[in-house]
């Protein structure tokens, strides 16, 4: 199974494609972040996210997409912008005919680190180890996206076993 994890953000939108082989081994196919300029108009930024995610989907052919669920935001304006980015990410997946799964930050951290209140550096460290990477993924948004994909792979595997 191959999953595209997306970490939505107003400045950087992280992405990571992870594949789980039959033996349970995880493999990172690609990761990175879509850098957005705050000087660019919001519709243009959203268009760039949609286009670049479409390219990643076309290149890596994920089976499913996973994104972080909405969380509490201190600022209403930031929450609205984040919601717009999430909507565009979901639209990119839906346009490609892919299912989208959503996970809370607590669930993602618990799945990858074993502790729901883990720091970003702990998540990055565990992602590096789980994927057997030579260097930690940068920027942090890329490692967060990989963590989202890993969370979905673990969750989907458990659900398949329960159904069987």
Catalytic positions, written as ranges: 7, 68, 141
Contact 37, 45 (CB under 8 A): yes
Q: Pull the structure tokens for residue 98.
A: 């892919």
Euclidean distance between CA atoms 150 and 140, whole angstroms: 15
- For residue 21, the SS3 value is coil
Q: Are strands 2-7 and 12-20 parallel, antiparallel or unpaired?
A: antiparallel
Task: Phi first, then psi: give them for residue 47, nearest 5 degrees.
Answer: -65, -40
Cis preceding linkage at 139, omega within 30? yes
Burial of 11 (0-12, 13-18, 19+ CB in 10 A): middle
């Amino acid at each position: 199974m191959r999953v595209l994890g997306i970490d939505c953000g107003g400045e950087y939108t992280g992405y990571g494609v992870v594949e789980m082989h039959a033996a349970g081994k995880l493999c990172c196919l690609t990761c990175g972040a879509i850098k957005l300029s705050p000087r660019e108009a919001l519709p243009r930024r959203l268009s760039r996210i949609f286009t670049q995610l479409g390219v990643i989907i076309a290149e890596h052919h994920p089976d499913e997409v996973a994104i972080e669920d909405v969380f509490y935001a201190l600022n209403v304006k930031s929450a609205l912008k984040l919601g717009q980015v999430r909507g565009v990410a979901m639209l990119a997946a839906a346009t490609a005919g892919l299912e989208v799964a959503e996970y809370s930050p607590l669930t993602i951290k618990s799945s990858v680190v074993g502790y729901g209140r883990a720091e970003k550096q702990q998540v990055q460290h565990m992602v590096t180890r789980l994927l057997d990477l030579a260097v930690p993924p940068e920027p942090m948004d890329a490692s967060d996206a990989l963590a989202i994909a890993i969370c979905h792979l673990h969750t989907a595997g458990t659900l398949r076993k329960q159904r069987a």
